[in-house]
Amino acid sequence: MNNNYIKVLIEGKNVNNYIKWLINQRINIINLNVVKHNELEIIINYKDYKLLKKYSKTYKIKIIKKYGTLKLIELMKRNLFIILWLVLAIAFLYFLSNIIFSVEIVYNDKEMIENIEKELKKYGIEKYKQKKEYTYLSKIKEEILKNNKDTIEWIEIIEDGTKYIVRLVERKKEEFIKEYEYQSISTTKDAIITSIKATSGEKIKEINEYVKADDIIVSGIITKPDSSLVYTKAKATIYGEVWYEINIEYPYVYKEEKVNGKSKDVYVINFLSKKIPIFSYKKYKNFKVETNNIIESNILPISISKEKQYEVIVKEEIYTWEEAISNAIDLAKKKLLENNNKIINIKKVEILDKQTIDSKIKLNLFISVEEDITKIVEVKKEETKEKDLQN
> Any idea of the CA torsion for 68, 70, 74, 80, to the nearest 10 degrees?
80
Identify the architecture of domain 5-76 in CATH: 2-Layer Sandwich (3.30)
pLDDT at 262 over 60: yes
What pLDDT was estimated at residue 188?
Answer: 94
Place 368 in a pLDDT band, splitting at 50, 70 and 90.
very high
What pLDDT was estimated at residue 2?
Answer: 52
Place 226 in a pLDDT band, splitting at 50, 70 and 90.
confident
Question: What is the chain's length?
Answer: 391
Q: Are 184 and 234 in contact (CB under 8 A)?
A: yes
Rama region for 288: left / alpha / beta (φ>0; ψ in -120 to 50; rest): beta
In sequence order, the β-bridge partners of residue 353 are: 364
The per-residue pLDDT for range 70-82, each reduced to its tens digit, is: 777 877 787 788 8
What pLDDT was estimated at residue 197?
Answer: 94
The per-residue pLDDT for range 125-157, each reduced to its tens digit, is: 888 888 888 788 888 888 888 888 888 888 888
Choose between 297 and 333: higher pLDDT. Answer: 333
What pLDDT was estimated at residue 138?
Answer: 84
d(C-alpha 361, C-alpha 354), whole Å: 7
Q: How far is CA 171 from CA 109, 124, 153, 163, in A?
A: 13, 25, 4, 26
Mean pLDDT of 15-20: 82
158-195 in b/e form (b: 16+ CB < 10 A) is eeeeeebebebeeeeeeeeeeeeebbbbbbbebbebbe
What pLDDT was estimated at residue 362?
Answer: 92
pLDDT at 387 over 50: no
Q: How far is CA 362 from CA 247, 334, 337, in A?
A: 7, 17, 20
Mean pLDDT of 246-259: 84
Place 280 in a pLDDT band, splitting at 50, 70 and 90.
low
Residues with Cβ within 8 Å of residue 206, at least 6 apart in sequence: 193, 196
Q: How far is CA 359 from CA 18, 166, 197, 320, 352, in A?
A: 84, 31, 48, 11, 20
User: In terms of C-beta distances under 8 Å and separation of at least 24 residues, what long-range contacts does 269-272 make, across chains too?
Assistant: 269/302, 269/303, 269/304, 270/302, 270/303, 270/304, 270/305, 271/301, 271/302, 272/90, 272/93, 272/301
Q: What is the CATH number of domain 102-170?
A: 3.10.20
What pLDDT was estimated at residue 390?
Answer: 39
The per-residue pLDDT for range 300-358, each reduced to its tens digit, is: 667 777 777 888 888 788 889 999 999 999 999 998 998 888 999 999 999 999 998 88
d(C-alpha 125, C-alpha 137), whole Å: 9
Q: Are 145 and 171 in contact (CB under 8 A)?
A: no
Rama region for 227: left / alpha / beta (φ>0; ψ in -120 to 50; rest): left
Q: Is 47 helix (H, G, I), strand (E, B) or coil?
A: helix
Continuous segment of H or E residues that includes residue 144? helix 134-147
Q: Where are the beta strands (DSSP E) in 72-141?
A: 102-106
What pLDDT was estimated at residue 175?
Answer: 58
Domain boundary assignment for the chain: 5-76, 102-170, 183-234+375-390, 246-253+318-373, 254-316
Give the amino acid at 134. Answer: Y
Q: Is the pTM above the cut of 0.85? A: no
| Ranges 19-28, 51-60, 215-224, 379-388, most confident | 215-224
What pLDDT was estimated at residue 391?
Answer: 41
Share of the chain above pLDDT 90, in %: 28
pLDDT at 51 over 60: yes
The per-residue pLDDT for range 167-201, each reduced to its tens digit, is: 888 876 655 667 888 999 999 999 999 999 999 99
Residues with Cβ within 8 Å of residue 388, at least 6 apart in sequence: 229
